[in-house]
Every structure is written in structure tokens, then in C-alpha cells.
A = this chain, B = another copy of it.
Amino acid sequence: METDGLLEGIRDRRIPALAKAISLVENGRDGYELLLSELHPMVGNAHRIGLTGPPGAGKSTLAERLIQGYRARGKTVAVVAVDPTSPFSGGALLGDRIRMESVTLDPGVYIRSMAARGAVGGLATTTTEVCDVLDAFGFDRIIIETVGVGQSELTIAASADTSVLVLVPESGDGIQVLKAGVMEIADVFVVNKADRPGAERLVQEVDVMLGLRSGNAYRQIRPHHSVREMNGVQHSEEQSEGWLPATLMTVATEGSGIDELIEALDAHHAHLSDSGELHERRRARLERHTRDVVDRSLSTLVWQRGQGEQILESGLERVVTGDVSPYRLAQEIVAGALEGGDDIEG
């Protein structure tokens, strides 16, 4: 069995076992669900941080700086760099860039790139599972870096405890694009490359947008210099319960603003923990994940273990000619899968 010794290896925090376990999970090889099942009781201690934003926003450099900052604070860090787009995107993912950097020699740091494979749902589910392995291994922080700001990135980012949206002054015109969806799920906004013209204006735009979203004019006039000013104190009665998204400025290449970002991330985690929302998010994530595993099992049952592919192949021509509908053919495929689906162990 390929999984022999992996559970023990991860318990003993051996990196080769970790790497092997992640490959097993990523490629869905025999026994991967069993391994994940055994790791499950060890999962739940890492702070998972999603880094989302348009290409060129400096996410990878920011991730490097976060690694350094966390290491200086004695925390171990794993990075999962995910590219849900095609090979054409020319990925400047951290995992690809950093191989030869000194940080990879530090046993308290682990970096892994994941490419797109199969369906969007598939990649998000697998990303969660890779994070579970890293979590079980004992990393204190897991940074999930994604390329782009589409639906699949949102789905992936939504699995993090804290979502960071990274923008740059140049993305000002594109803020319309970001408006839909991304804004709603971010807990912390970072305007990176903040030494460039337009950074202040972008911070204001983001705040106006957030203000519009919550219908709260206050947000548009608050200062942006310290997270603690915003989140350490209560601002008004109706806000005392919720998290007020932080907007920060960084220059990742120079390392400026990183301490403040780490403070913001810690503050958000403390907020989640104190308010009980961490438990709620974890519960929601596990529910979502169980649903995804069910859908994946059914899909495997039909398309890999069942006769699905054969029935589809032999029936498709009749669908193309119009003699048989896709619905009729789908019925045959489902019926075929259920007949042969007695052994669903896995």
C-alpha cells in the first residue's frame, strides 16, 4: 500500500512523508481518502489565510514577507500556491519562483504549487485536503495563494479562515471588476506597491465601496494607519459584534507594512476565535467538504468504477443525430452505475 507509514511519518513531522502524502492526495491515488480520514482528528489548529488578487499585485512577494515575519515570531508556515487557470497564464506562483531561495532550506517552511486539474469544484476540494494534511502535520499558518479573482479563486479563498485581497494602485480602473464577489469575502484589504501614485486614492475607493456595501458612512472617513485603531476598539454599538475589514498599505519588496499586516491577520483570527465564528466557519467548511466528497464519490462511482464512459461513448452518436436525448442517455448511465455500485468502499 502506498499509504504505508505516511500517517506515522506525518505524526513524527517528517517532511518526506508530508511531500508523499500531499502527492497522494493531489493525484487521488489509492488510499488517499483513508489517509485523510485518519488525519482528520489532527486537523484544526492552523490559521488558514487566503491571498487573492489580480496577477501582478505582488502576492508572491507578500507571501515571502509573511513567511519571514511569521518565522521571526517563531511560527511555522506552509504555502499552497494554486493556479486554477490554464497553462497559458504563465504562472508567477510563489512555488515556482522560490525554489532556489534560502527560505526553502528552513524546515519550518513548506511551499507547494498546485496546478488546475479537472473541474473547478475538484481543485477547491483538493486544495482543502492538501491544507488538511499541512494542518495535521502541525503548521501554525497556512497561506493559500491563488492567481486571479474569478469564481474558482473565490471558492478556494472561501475555505480560508481569513481572506486577504491584494490590490495595487494600477488596479484602480479594474476595481469595477473586483466589485462583484471578491469584495464580499475579503476580511483584510492590502494595497501593495503603496509607494506608487494612486495608492491613497485606491484605499479611499475600497473604503467607499465597503462603506456602500455596509451602508455605513463612517467607514469612508476613518484613518488607515493602524489596524488596532480600527479593530481593537469598539466604534459604535451596531459594529461591536462584527469584524470591520482592515485596509492596509504595503510595499512588499521593501518589507514595509508587513508587521501591520501580520497584526491584522492575528487580530482577525482572535476575533474569529473570541466570537465563536472560527468554530462556525470550521463547521461550515466541514459541511461543505462532506458534500463535496459525496459528489466526488458519486462521480467516481459513475465515471471511473461504473460503466459511465462506455455507455456515454456508445450512446453519444444517437444524441448527436437527435434520436436520443441527453436526458435519456444520462438516465441509462445513472442506472448502470447504481446497478454495479455495491462496493463503494474507499
Contacts and interface: CB of A to CB of B under 8 A. Distances in A.
A259 interface: no
Nearest to A287: B316
B171 A327 contact: no
Majority secondary structure, A binding face: helix
Nearest to A289: B326
A290 B326 contact: yes
A180 B55 contact: yes
Nearest to A299: B295
Interface string A282-304: 11001101110111011101110
A36 interface: yes
Contacts of A181: 85-86, 88-89, 150
Contacts of A120: 120-121, 151
B147 A180 contact: yes
A84 interface: yes
A331 B296 CA distance: 11
A109 to B, nearest CB: 27
Contacts of A216: none
Nearest to A123: B151
Given A151-B150, A294-B330, A344-B334, A320 B55 contact: no
Interface in A326-346: 326-331, 333-335, 337-338, 341, 344-346
Contacts of A55: 176-177, 179-180
Contacts of A329: 290
Given A293-B330, A297-B330, A177 B148 contact: yes
A179 to B, nearest CB: 7
Interface string A59-73: 000000000000000
A197 interface: no
Interface in A57-98: 84-86, 88-90
A286 B319 contact: yes
A221 interface: no
A251 to B, nearest CB: 20
Interface stretch (A5-13, A37-45, A227-235, A267-275): A37-45
A255 interface: no
Interface string A129-168: 0000000000000000001111110100000000000000
A33 interface: yes
Interface of A: 33-34, 36-38, 40-41, 43-44, 54-56, 84-86, 88-90, 119-121, 147-152, 154, 170-171, 173-174, 176-177, 179-181, 183-184, 213, 279, 282-283, 286-287, 289-291, 293-295, 297-299, 301-303, 308, 312, 316, 319-320, 322-323, 325-331, 333-335, 337-338, 341, 344-346
6 contacts: A37-B326, A37-B327, A119-B121, A149-B150, A290-B326, A291-B312
